[in-house]
Structure 1
Amino acid sequence: MKDKLKYIYLLLLVGFINFLLILFQLKQIAEFESRIDTMLYFSMFVSVFSVTIISVLLSKFDLINILKKILIFYLIDVFYSWFITISKNINNPDFNLLLAFKNHFIQYNIFSVFLLIFLLAYFIKIIKNDKIRFNSIILHNFGDTSKHLEILLLSSIFLNDKLLLNNLLTYFVTQFKNTNLTAFLFLLFFLNLSILLILSYFVRTLLCSWIELKNNQGGANLTFISSLTLATLFNYVIQIPFRYDNDALGNHLFNGAVAFQIIFLFLLYFLIYLIINRYLIGTAVIVFLGITLGVVNSLKLSMRNEPVLVTDIIWLKQLKLLFSFVNQNYLILTVFSILLVINLILVLHKKFLTGKIYESRSIRLIFISLILLSYTFMFSIFARIKDHKINNNIPLLSKLNNGLNLDYLGFKTNATYKSLTYVWTRQLTTKIIEKPENYNEDTIKSIYKKYVEAAGEINKSRSNSISKQTVIFILSESYSNPRKITGTDISYDPTQNINKLMTQTTSGQMKSDGYGGGTANMEFQALTGLPYYNYSSTVSTLYTEVVPRLKKFTSVSEYFENKIVIHPSAASNYNRFNVYNQLNFDRLIFQSGSSEKFKKDEKIGLNTSDQAVYDTILDNIDENEYQFFSVITMQNHAPWSEWSPTELTSFNPTFSEDTNDSLQSYVRLLYHTDIATNDFLESLKQIEQDVTVVFYGDHLPGFYPNYAFNDNPSNQYLTDYFIWSNHQTNKLDYEVVNSSDFIAELFEHTNSKVSPFYALLTDVLKNSSVNQKKLSKNQKIIADDLKMIQYDISLGKGYILKYEDFFSID
């Protein structure tokens, strides 16, 4: 009998035993209680035959050695399955770690069969089985198959694991429960054999990896097992910062989240091993990257309530800025540890687990290509997403993506319940904006005509031109009213001047799209009037993901001849240098990365003071020209540390000591912002030329704990804004606006004529902005008009660009 036929025969023998155990498990499902009895009896009969044959074969082997391996593999399965269960219950507050271990440790399914097989094998062994004709025939035909049988028996341990078996049956029954019973059972048996084959490969790899380890060789098998082990470990490390003792609409973690992330990381780690082709160095790189990602992810979540995203790679260009957010002692310790580990690895890899993982370059290239193809296939599935859903028949991915749509809840929530790598995958594959229904040239033309007429009506009652004055947009970093936070006690109002001003001029609350971060997105919307909410929720940074694809990068600044940007930070942050050049700004004044540098660098706290920024504006105002200033401050940016005025104190009894320290420093920094802003506006009153200031906080500081917003969740995303003019007093009543509404509000505040596009933004401001709880039919039409134009200039055909006057003011 040929070796392949022998193996197939053994596979069927072991397969029937496993099939019987699966049927016992299936029988516990109510709808299959009696329907499978006939197949159950038949399987029992065949399994008795299988057990007999296997026992005869085992009787010639070293039973003690095989039993040792079974015990070792059983323990490997128990601990691995237990760790996966921990990962799946990371957000479950009722999860009992010890009880889960007990449940995983006590798995009787396969051991009752193993006990029978080994008792029978031992009995046959002591009665000299080779004297029995039946036994001698079996041993003659299968005597050299010990290794195959051993691997199949070890594979059965993994196949009968509770976690794998339950998930397998749940998926299979869901997919094929309406199939004819005979066909259903045949498919189940075939699936059983297929899984057994796959697991036998895994067991063989595990055994070979142990041999490589004993031989001090970092080979392909050890690399495979290490990739899987590290992927499982770092899946947990990555997700632990997201731990949240609550569910999302009944889900503590979505089905498939753990498996998807482990597969994603396994492929990535195996790819790293293949590229480096040295086991110890590859392991060191993977561990370094895994720990770094875990730490950075935790830091970013604590500071900005947002996970590490694919687009964050641009921050590698600003390492100095990144390091400024980290405690210097920790940073020194980390760098020292990394250097120590690198040196240790360089010494060890010459003596331990030496040699190349793959000697053949062609084999390496084949595996690298297969991994890249796997990622391509995965990304292509998500690239074809429609209405937030992918094809329903794709195992794992369909369950993970198609259940509940959490896109609207943001990156953190999706990473918490669907995994961080799921967020990365969606970010890499999702279109920046969905194509609206009825998008075509005729629709755009009708919108154009509608708002040309609307602009004409608006301009009948307006007499001013926005370009005949100086306009200053000030994005005040992290500016918000701390008194809105429940339980916060402050000795006196740190922003009394601005609060008083807000009662006298156009002012209100701005809805931020981020908590603790998202500055560039607020800035983009304020300048362009294009709201973030119309873009895909997977878009992280509008400047880097959207701007490069815009067919028309419109901005309120284009109506001014003299345009200046002032920001005491790096010009390369969020691609600002290129963005402002694209908008034809005449002068760029940054801390670094621009030809004209920020000269005033007086600090309050740890960052450049607001007073220094305001002084820079005043130094650059030319009363003989009409100018546009785009200004971003940094004084209230993290980290927060300020000691004066000492009499200004704050405290929240529910906060930790560290959080209260940050709160107190932040409140004192706001005091300095308030004084500097009041003095700045007083200086502007002395200028004869008309000047209008649009002042807004981009987001709340990121030190508040999530529970601080339990009483009023909307407060987490509401900051303060005002629009003020030096020679007029005007107060418009818009209680809550989006940052994209500022342009329309500015034009109304200054009684300035509008373009057809700004007539559209005015209609949105008045009818369908973020302050509207539920849109009427007419309000929805206005909102859809803006989304249609936004799509047209983002991913569409650019039909509106045929009408040059749509963006111009008569």
Structure 2
Amino acid sequence: MPKSNHRLSAIGQKIKKGFQAVGRFLFVRTEHAHSERFEKVVDVLNRYAVLFHIALSLSIVFVVELISRRSVLSALNFIRIHPLAYLYNSFIVFASLMLVFLFRRRGFFRVLITSFWVLLGIINGCILSNRVTPFTYTDLKCVSDLLSMTNTNYFTAQQATAVVFGFVIFILLMVALFIKGPRYQGKKHPVAYPLSVLAVLFIGIPAATSAATNTHIVDTYFYNIAQGYEDNGFIYSFSSSVVNRGMSKPETYSKETIDTIENQVNTQVAKTKSSKPNIICILLESFVDPEELTYLKTNKDPISFYHYLEDNYTSGYLTVPVVGAGTANTEFEILTGMSMQYFGTGEYPYKTILKQTDCESIASDLSKIGYGTHVVHNNGGNFYSRANAFSMMGFDTFTSKECMNITEFTPNGNWAEDAILVNETIKALDATEGSDFVYTITVGTHGDYPKQPILDNPEFVVTGANSEESANQWTYFVNQAHKTDLFIQNLVTELDKRDEDTIVVMFGDHLPTMGLTNEDTVPGDIYKTKYQTWNNMGLEKQDADLYAYQLLASVTDSVGIHEGTIWKYHQNELANNEAKLDRDAYLNGLENLQYDLLYGDRFAYNGEDLYPATEIVMGIDEVVIEKAQRFEISNALMLTGSSFTPWTRVYVNDSRVDSVLVDGKHMRISLDDVEDGDVIQMKVLGSSNSVFRVSNEFVYDDPTVEDTETTEE
């Protein structure tokens, strides 16, 4: 055998022995594995376990707050300003540590429980580094969405790999600790220990929580979720997001309450005649008017058309339920007229109640009077479970990015440019004969906003930012905002060409993730964005500041449309706003209606399901295969047709084959993947390979194969 082979064999043996040694050290339990000093420490910890748990709980909460706030001073300030909230958070951790008394491997379970809380804090710190809103239980329901969005502002493929690697190492160390770690050798009390644990978990926690909430040591509802986490502590706040989901039944909820609200609204809302105009509602992702920021200046106006609309058509401030992230919750308020304040901490109704219950919305109400209802969005159809949610809300069609032939992306490479939405919105209007409601969602001004300059000679330059990195971020943002402004202008220009009454309303879903504070904004409130309108009907300019859940009630009221349970309720409030109605009574009525429609007996519908989910159609255009052409030299089969997109996949006899998109009308596959008589079909796929659209079945006729019947003749 050559010497090199001997050398390699020897190296291989050494590596093998090394792994075996590590394995024995970590995973093979031996007698007298621990030193006498170590055993004494373990004995002390067991003897004074409760005191040790108190100290450990206080330490865990401090570490979690330190990680979440990313500042020692901020963590210490939390303890100084909210000492009782700090102690209550510590009691939650202490209660969880009581579980170790049920096992002999107490050290293992202490490390496991400690790691659990610290890991949650690390996740929260990472999330807060990318957005303003903290980590909640409902975020876990978005994991599948995020996994389909690598190399975006949420996380990179490298970061995902590092997380997986770190998790594997942690699991291996925990397995080693389980095997090699100390075991409690004292007498276990079969009754006393379990009873003590149960008493703390099921009596102590509820009693402490009731006392803490009744004395306002901690809050039961966070209007500002970010501030709520700051004031109440991460561990209580996250735990609240786990147990406090859905809506609680209002104390005043009853059939009589709902009947009274309905009778009052039906009596007071005017029944003016409507021209049933087209209604275009546009969500402007992370959009803020640069002039609304107190410290920022631009060399020239990047959103001049937006300001033209503000000067000439109805506009105002819009109070939204989120900041920095959580688009789906502003969207939920806009489309349903319902308020997020009655849901659990950090909840996304799209991910919870709308998974199982249909929901009256502006789409279902306008459908009742003959409207076609459509959604257009240049991002994934499954993100935030939108395809399901829009079905539950009664939309007819949903054109997501998978149904668009997107070729232009933002400079950061993460998102589609908004220009494509002009044609897609017009296409939705053309899909039906009558009036339409089109909900268009932009994405061009979405983060991540690069801290390094990536634009060559940007047209719009900012000054006033507090750092070079911030200036780069705002320069990127305002140049993208200019593109959004062009999209709005081009869409309005196309709408103005049509001989159809039309009203457009556009709004910012939340402020961008730039660390903005109330003092940084002109209205002094980071939960206020702006909305603008346009119409070709000569409607009077009537500026008003609104809540997100009131916006479409105001728009439909302005054109004489009075449909829908909650919309009429809001219209009644808006019509009587000058009378300064009791806002508490107004919100109590909204809470009762909202609970009735989503969780209650649907007294407003006489117990019936008046707005069932629709069989939503993904996209407007049919995907069609028209012909196939062989190219022997390149061993390719060119498929010609229409409505091909980057998310269109080719199937031969129902088995997926590799394909290359040439353009919207041509797709190429290998000749090796198809034979004479095979059935070729195309499918438009969303995330997790969900099928959004299916083409016709095209039977391949290979011209090189001789026709047997013709030969026999």
TM-score range, shorter chain: 0.5 to 0.7
Partner of 1:10: none
- How many residues align structurally? 565
Pair 1:463-2:274 in alignment? yes
Report the Cα distance in structure 1 between the residues aligned to 2:104 and 2:485, rounded to whole angstroms.
55
Report the Cα distance in structure 1 between the residues aligned to 2:83 and 2:442, rounded to whole angstroms.
44
Q: Counterparts of 1:20-59 in structure 2 under 5 Å?
A: none
Report the Cα distance in structure 1 between the residues aligned to 2:455 and 2:313, rounded to whole angstroms.
32
Partner of 2:324: 516
CA contact (8 A) 1:253 1:418 kept: no
CA contact (8 A) 1:512 1:719 kept: yes
Distance 1:218 1:723, change over 3 A: farther
Within the candidate set 791, 803, 808, 2:595 is matched to 791
Tell me which amino acid in the other structure corresponds to 2:528.
Answer: L
Tell me which amino acid in the other structure corresponds to 1:580.
Answer: F
Partner of 2:61: 235
Q: Counterparts of 1:526-565 in structure 2 under 5 Å?
A: 526-533=334-341, 535=342, 538=345, 540-547=347-354, 553-560=360-367, 562-565=372-375
Within the candidate set 514, 524, 532, 1:713 is matched to 524
CA contact (8 A) 1:565 1:589 kept: yes
CA contact (8 A) 1:755 1:806 kept: no
Residue 649 of structure 1 and its aligned partner are, at CA, apart by: 0.6
The SS at the match of 1:305 is coil
Distance 1:777 1:722, change over 3 A: closer
Partner of 2:455: 643
The SS at the match of 2:503 is strand
Report the Cα distance in structure 1 between the residues aligned to 2:151 and 2:201, rounded to whole angstroms.
32
CA contact (8 A) 1:510 1:718 kept: yes
Residue 287 of structure 1 and its aligned partner are, at CA, apart by: 6.5
Tell me which amino acid in the other structure corresponds to 2:552.
Answer: I
Tell me which amino acid in the other structure corresponds to 1:474.
Answer: I
Structure with greater helix share of residues: 1
Report the Cα distance in structure 2 between the residues aligned to 1:555 and 1:670, rounded to whole angstroms.
28
Tell me which amino acid in the other structure corresponds to 1:263.
Answer: F
Q: TM-score, normalization: structure 1?
A: 0.60
Within the candidate set 376, 379, 393, 1:569 is matched to 379
Q: Counterparts of 1:218-297 in structure 2 under 5 Å?
A: 221=46, 231-240=57-66, 241-242=68-69, 252-268=80-96, 289-290=116-117, 292-297=119-124
Report the Cα distance in structure 1 between the residues aligned to 2:194 and 2:541, rounded to whole angstroms.
61
Q: Deviations over 1:462-516 (max 9, x none)?
A: 3323xxx433322111111122211212111111111102222222221122221
Q: Counterparts of 1:45-84 in structure 2 under 5 Å?
A: none
Within the candidate set 310, 317, 329, 2:144 is matched to 317
Tell me which amino acid in the other structure corresponds to 1:787.
Answer: E
Distance 1:664 1:277, change over 3 A: farther
Residue 747 of structure 1 and its aligned partner are, at CA, apart by: 1.3
Specify every segment of 5 or more residues in structure 1 that has no aligned partner in the other structure, as ranges. 1-208
Pair 1:735-2:561 in alignment? no
CA contact (8 A) 1:415 1:423 kept: yes
Distance 1:365 1:444, change over 3 A: same
Partner of 2:134: 307
The SS at the match of 2:543 is strand
Tell me which amino acid in the other structure corresponds to 2:350.
Answer: Y
Residue 210 of structure 1 and its aligned partner are, at CA, apart by: 9.3
Within the candidate set 406, 418, 425, 1:600 is matched to 406
Report the Cα distance in structure 2 between the residues aligned to 1:493 and 1:599, rounded to whole angstroms.
31
Bigger relative contact order, structure 1 or 2, given CA contacts below 8 A and separation 6+? 2
The SS at the match of 2:458 is coil
Residue 638 of structure 1 and its aligned partner are, at CA, apart by: 1.6
Q: For the aligned residues, what is the CA RMSD? A: 4.5
The SS at the match of 1:480 is coil
Report the Cα distance in structure 1 between the residues aligned to 2:399 and 2:471, rounded to whole angstroms.
35
Q: Deviations over 1:73-130 (max 9, x none)?
A: xxxxxxxxxxxxxxxxxxxxxxxxxxxxxxxxxxxxxxxxxxxxxxxxxxxxxxxxxx
Pair 1:761-2:570 in alignment? yes
Residue 412 of structure 1 and its aligned partner are, at CA, apart by: 2.6
Distance 1:730 1:681, change over 3 A: same
Tell me which amino acid in the other structure corresponds to 1:750.
Answer: V
Report the Cα distance in structure 1 between the residues aligned to 2:90 and 2:161, rounded to whole angstroms.
30
Distance 1:258 1:405, change over 3 A: closer
CA contact (8 A) 1:566 1:589 kept: yes
Structure with greater strand share of residues: 2
Q: Counterparts of 1:133-532 in structure 2 under 5 Å?
A: 213-214=38-39, 221=46, 231-240=57-66, 241-242=68-69, 252-268=80-96, 289-290=116-117, 292-320=119-147, 321=149, 324-325=152-153, 328=156, 331=159, 334-335=162-163, 338=166, 341-342=169-170, 345=173, 349=177, 354=180, 357=183, 374-377=200-203, 380-381=206-207, 390=210, 392=211, 397=212, 401-403=215-217, 407=221, 409-430=223-244, 432-433=246-247, 438-455=252-269, 458-459=270-271, 461-465=272-276, 469-532=277-340
Partner of 1:35: none
Q: Deviations over 1:673-698 (max 9, x none)?
A: 11122112212222334343221110
Residue 364 of structure 1 and its aligned partner are, at CA, apart by: 10
The SS at the match of 2:312 is coil
CA contact (8 A) 1:451 1:757 kept: no
Partner of 1:678: 489
Distance 1:262 1:246, change over 3 A: closer
The SS at the match of 1:741 is helix
Report the Cα distance in structure 1 between the residues aligned to 2:533 and 2:523, rounded to whole angstroms.
26
CA contact (8 A) 2:418 2:443 kept: yes
Report the Cα distance in structure 2 between the residues aligned to 1:267 and 1:304, rounded to whole angstroms.
31
Distance 1:550 1:738, change over 3 A: farther
Report the Cα distance in structure 1 between the residues aligned to 2:565 and 2:160, rounded to whole angstroms.
56
Report the Cα distance in structure 2 between the residues aligned to 1:379 and 1:581, rounded to whole angstroms.
40
CA contact (8 A) 1:490 1:648 kept: yes
Tell me which amino acid in the other structure corresponds to 2:345.
Answer: T
Within the candidate set 436, 439, 445, 1:627 is matched to 436
Partner of 1:77: none
Deviates more, 1:554-563 or 1:681-690: 554-563
Specify every segment of 5 or more residues in structure 2 that has no aligned partner in the other structure, as ranges. 1-33, 613-713
Distance 1:332 1:322, change over 3 A: closer
Residue 290 of structure 1 and its aligned partner are, at CA, apart by: 4.7
Residue 625 of structure 1 and its aligned partner are, at CA, apart by: 4.4
Residue 608 of structure 1 and its aligned partner are, at CA, apart by: 1.3
Residue 631 of structure 1 and its aligned partner are, at CA, apart by: 2.6
CA contact (8 A) 2:316 2:531 kept: yes
Partner of 2:3: none
